[in-house]
Structure 1
């Protein structure tokens, strides 16, 4: 008799969890909330319009966006006219002192900060209420001994900043956060 009460309680909890997860749209454990009618995604090359950004930044950022969406959704990547469409440009690549220190009577950078801004236009062809155009930004601090050339040659340094921007873009577009 006790086992029956316990199994009924567990059954009711599982049913309740199922209703919570099903809702009106599709939920996945990656946090996406994509309408089942959406099957494809197109990501145009993000042009580098930053005055001092490295030449490879456009290609690296675009490929990172594609990789992230392919890893975290089941959407098929198409060259153009996807159900979800991304386009934009890198508008800022700024490397500047973030913390000034006085050493031997001379002011110098203690930490340098690299900041990248990307302007994104997102189009959802299935639901135009979700369309947006927004600037996303991220930065990272580096020791003063690291100059911008060394950072540009370090694939993990730029990737950290890119992933922060891409995560925000992902959350805004398909996770509805």
Structure 2
């Protein structure tokens, strides 16, 4: 009887640790890939804000490095992220009585092509969009622009991560 308890306990421990190998804390599941690359995202929008393409490319690289154990490479990555910024738009959202915008919205859309060289069924091409609302009496420059880009890129990069690796 004692031997049966030991076998049951050992089986439970083995199954527990075996089950843990499938998932990790980021929710990425089991990934066969070892490396990833993020190609430079060109700014192809009609309205150009200088430097946002590099800021976005780095934000995506940083997020993947921080949430996985994949190694960043410049070429030949198992996972490849590429695409372009297709829309950078500022739109009035609400107006005052004297026909001025009381609130504006910055919207950024990024088209992403994801290639998984280890599992082609995971490949996709898809646009990701997010926005930032700000007061109509403020200019979108300096720290206000930095805050807007940080918030938008944080959401878009997390959405890309979830679509490509977390499968949420």
Q: Please, what TM-score do these two structures have when normalized by structure 1?
A: 0.82
Root mean square deviation, CA, Å: 2.5
Residue 8 of structure 1 aligns with which residue? none
Distance (whole Å) between structure 2 residues aligned to residue 170 and residue 41 of structure 1: 12
- Tell me whether 1:136 sits opposite 2:128 in the alignment: yes
Query: Whole-Å Cα distance in 1 between the matches of residues 15 and 133 of structure 2?
Result: 42
Between the aligned partners of 2:107 and 2:28, the Cα distance in structure 1 is: 27
Structure 2 unaligned regions, length at least 5: 1-8
In the TM superposition, what is the alpha-carbon distance from 1:140 to its structure 2 partner?
A: 1.0
Contact 1:39-1:75 at 8 Å conserved across structures: yes
Aligned twin of 2:140 = 148
Matches within 5 A, 1:153-164: 154-164=145-155
CA deviations 1:32-87 (Å, max 9, x no partner) are 1242x210001100001112131100100000000111111000000012110000
Poorly superposed stretches of 4+, deviation over 4 Å: 14-17
Matched, 1:29 2:20: no
TM-score w.r.t. the length of structure 2 is 0.86
Q: Equivalents in 2 of 1:163, 1:114: separation in Å? A: 14
What residue number does 2:16 align with?
A: 18
Matches of 1:138 and 1:86, distance apart in 2: 18
Other-structure match for 1:51: 46
**Where does residue 59 of structure 2 map in the other structure?**
64
Query: Which structure 1 segments of 5+ residues have no match?
Result: 1-10
> What SS does the corresponding residue of 1:86 show, helix, strand or coil?
strand
For residue 171 of structure 1, the aligned residue among 154, 162, 166 is 162
Q: How many residues align?
A: 161
Paired position in structure 2 for 1:108: 100
Mapped partners of 1:141, 1:16: distance in 2: 51
How far apart are the structure 2 equivalents of 1:139 and 1:126? 33
Match of 2:3 in 1: none
State how far apart, in whole Å, the 1-side matches of 2:19 and 2:150 are: 33
Q: Distance in 2 between matches of 1:99 and 1:15?
A: 59
